[in-house]
Amino acid sequence: MGEADVSDLIDRLTSLRQYQESGRRSPHKPLLVLLALGHLVNTGSSLMQWQDVDERLGFLLQEFGPPRRGGPKPEYPFTRLRADMVWQLSRDVPDDQVRPLNQEPISGQFVPDLESRLVSDPSAPYKVARGIVEQQFPMTIASDVLIATGLDPELVFSEGLDASVSVSERRRSSSWPREILQAWDGSCAFCGFDGQLGGASVAVEAAHVRWFKFEGPDELDNGLALCSLHHKLFDRGVLGLRDPETVMVSEAFSARTDEGRRIYDLHGKRLSPRPGTALPAAGNIRWHLEEVFKAEALSA
């Protein structure tokens, strides 16, 4: 398959109709596509039975989707993806209704022309997957998403495997990460870790409160310096902010060892930035609470 064909394939599977309003996340269809890609890579076919999709996609939406009342509803993307002309079902059913899916066996898979092109080029599924995760998720959790969908992150992000798709016209600020680290004195805003190697911060990163991929600005009031662990937990929705100065821990998080249970100690902790540091703006905190933070906060 030529580069033009691969680019067209990527474009079709990364240009899905998604509900988007005021930066709200809607990764339902992309997660189903990733799940089907993983199934194709591992079995040679994207054909999946609804019972398997219900369980696996439901888990993916619960883990990596935005917090929403009423459950993950995997039946929505399973039926609605047909409208994007990339997905077909073994029998006709109405959109969004789970009862017809459970009445008798039904399967879904990529439409024949996509299926054959994905099978004929072993690198194509990985290129599509890379385009999707780079479009939908921050890199802190991209590998987690890929592993959960049955895809090997090392193959998806292998050197020279260019997704050949521009997932955003916005340009990142090359100075923003350095400015964030400077504003927080090179230390994690949550735990205070400030390790250095040769005079440079190590394992301390600039974290967006509102994700850049969802209209989050490269501004000082949309960033925190966080250690690698707390950056990942922040992007997974384990950690959040009650207000610009107070850390929250999700009640959905659990740990048994003393090391893991130290995360609980962050709940209610007040941030102590150096004087003059811009704290996260209320709008960015609200976005993170509505689109990323899991469940409710710990009660105490």
Q: pLDDT digit string (tens) for 284-296?
A: 999 999 999 999 9
| pLDDT cut 90: percent of the chain above it | 82
Mean pLDDT confidence for 207-230: 96
pLDDT tens per residue across span 61-99 = 999 999 988 889 999 999 999 999 999 999 999 999 999
173 — pLDDT class (breaks 50, 70, 90):
confident
What pTM did the predictor assign? 0.84
Q: Which sequence spans correspond to the domains of the chain?
A: 3-156, 176-291
Q: Which residues touch 190 (CB under 8 Å, ≥6 apart)?
A: 224, 226, 227, 230, 234, 239, 247, 266, 269, 271
Instruction: Say if residue 18's pLDDT is above 90.
Output: no
Beta pairing partners, 206: 225
Average pLDDT, the chain: 92
* Residue 68 confidence (pLDDT): 83
Of the CA atoms within 13 Å of residue 271, those in its CB half-sphere come to: 26
Mean pLDDT confidence for 88-111: 97
169 — pLDDT class (breaks 50, 70, 90):
low
* Residue 28 confidence (pLDDT): 96
Distances (CA, A) of 155 to 11, 122, 124, 141, 181: 20, 11, 11, 16, 31
23 — pLDDT class (breaks 50, 70, 90):
confident
Sheet holding 87-89, edge to edge: 48-49, 107-110, 87-89
CA dihedral of 186, 248, 233, 136, whole degrees rounded to 10: -100
* Residue 1 confidence (pLDDT): 64
